């Protein structure tokens, strides 16, 4: 089993470090606080119609937005990192960029999946449907998720890591072209979406609700940072294990082959008497 020494991370059998554990604890605490804020302390969205006097709004469903919206932001962020790292792969061609791109894509896809799930849970009571085919933002988000699912499928194929890195970088750069469509779809196709333009103004978010929303951004950022740190280290170790395996195979092969045999294999005459071959 490879240890973190191979990746220059110190003599440990784990991807954790004192600082990353601290980050993990902070993340867990933040998630717990967000849960309490979003699902217990904040008020449901209940408004009174000025003419009829009836209650309307999103009621308790609005609580899901404290999770859903921050997840959207970290999804964009993860895929943005993936895009920058993919450019780095094509320009710099170093493993660091490749592992960064892979890490960001994997985490971004998890977040994107959660965006779809939390959005669907929110949509059931508010839109009265789990899924709305006519919603452009929903469709473009699904397409984004599917494109990165393909990216991860490509990543799982065993081949030369450098070649795989270049192929994956191209797929990522095409896939991130969808992000502006996702983000701007509510503006460009205003009549083809159920997503509202801006929830902030409509819901009159202020005080505790505003704090909860921004605390959600911070928490999602912490989760992203913690996941990124560990997944990057795992990816780096995987790469180190592959390199180590290749290097070991070369050494093993060299020990089996004499200099004379190598010369014969490339069509040259061996120099002097042939030395003993290792059987």
Partner 1 sequence: MIGRISRDAWLVACRDLRIEARSRVVLDQVVPFSVLVLVLFGFALDADNRTLRTFAPGLFWVAVLLSALLAVQRSATLDRSDGTDTALRMSGLSPISLFLGRASAVYVQLVALQVVLVGGLLILYGVDVEDPLLLVVAGLVAGVAVAAAGTLYGALASGLGVRETLLPILLLPVLAPVLIGATRAFDDALGAAAVDGWAWTGLLSLAALILTVVGASTHSALVED
Residues 109 and 102 sit within 8 Å (Cβ to Cβ): no
Let me know if 84 is exposed, middle or buried by CB neighbors in 10 A (0-12, 13-18, 19+): middle
Question: Which span sits near partner 1 by CB under 8 A: 14-22, 31-39, 175-183, 215-223?
Answer: 175-183
Distance in Å, CB of 174 to partner 1, minimum: 6
The residue whose two tokens read 């989760």 is 223
Distance in Å, CB of 116 to partner 1, minimum: 14
Q: Which of 169, 213, 237, 240 binds partner 1 (CB under 8 A)?
A: 169
Using the minimum distance from each CB to partner 1, give the nearer residue, 46 or 153. 153
Question: Which span sits near partner 1 by CB under 8 A: 163-171, 203-211, 212-220, 229-237?
Answer: 163-171
Residues in contact with 276: Cβ distance below 8 Å, sequence separation at least 6, in sequence order: 258
149 binds partner 1 (CB under 8 A): yes
Residues in contact with 278: Cβ distance below 8 Å, sequence separation at least 6, in sequence order: 255, 256, 257, 258
How many helices, marked H, and strands, marked E, lie in the chain? 9, 2
Q: Which of 135, 178, 186, 215 binds partner 1 (CB under 8 A)?
A: 178
- The vertex-101 CA angle with 17 and 187, nearest 5°, equals 115
Distance in Å, CB of 144 to partner 1, minimum: 8
Q: How far apart are CA 279 and CA 265, in angstroms?
A: 17
Residues 148 and 108 sit within 8 Å (Cβ to Cβ): yes
Question: Which span sits near partner 1 by CB under 8 A: 15-23, 44-52, 60-68, 136-144?
Answer: 136-144
112 binds partner 1 (CB under 8 A): no
Using the minimum distance from each CB to partner 1, give the nearer residue, 192 or 204. 192
218 binds partner 1 (CB under 8 A): no
Q: Which of 147, 182, 229, 240 binds partner 1 (CB under 8 A)?
A: 147
């Amino acid at each position: 089993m490879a240890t973190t020494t191979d990746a220059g991370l110190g003599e440990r059998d784990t991807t954790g470090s004192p600082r990353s554990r601290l980050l993990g604890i902070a993340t867990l605490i933040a998630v717990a606080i967000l849960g309490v804020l979003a699902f217990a302390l904040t008020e449901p969205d209940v408004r009174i119609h000025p003419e009829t006097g009836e209650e309307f709004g999103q009621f308790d469903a609005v609580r899901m937005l404290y999770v859903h919206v921050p997840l959207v932001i970290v999804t964009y962020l993860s895929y943005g990192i993936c895009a920058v790292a993919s450019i780095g792969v094509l320009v710099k061609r170093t493993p660091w960029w490749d592992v960064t791109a892979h890490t960001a894509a994997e985490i971004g896809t998890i977040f994107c999946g959660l965006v779809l799930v939390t959005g669907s849970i929110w949509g059931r009571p508010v839109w009265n449907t789990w899924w709305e085919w006519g919603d452009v933002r929903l469709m473009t988000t699904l397409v984004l998720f599917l494109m990165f699912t393909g990216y991860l499928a490509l990543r799982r194929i065993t081949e030369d890591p450098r070649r795989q890195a270049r192929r994956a970088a191209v797929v990522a750069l095409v896939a991130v072209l969808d992000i502006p469509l996702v983000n701007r779809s509510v503006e460009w196709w205003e009549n083809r979406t159920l997503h509202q333009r801006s929830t902030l103004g409509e819901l009159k978010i202020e005080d505790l609700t505003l704090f909860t929303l921004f605390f959600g951004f911070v928490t999602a950022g912490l989760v992203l940072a913690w996941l990124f740190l560990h997944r990057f280290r795992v990816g780096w170790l995987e790469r180190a294990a592959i390199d180590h395996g290749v290097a070991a195979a070369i050494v093993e092969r060299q020990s089996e082959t004499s200099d004379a045999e190598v010369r014969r294999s490339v069509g040259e005459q061996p120099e002097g008497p042939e030395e003993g071959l290792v059987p």
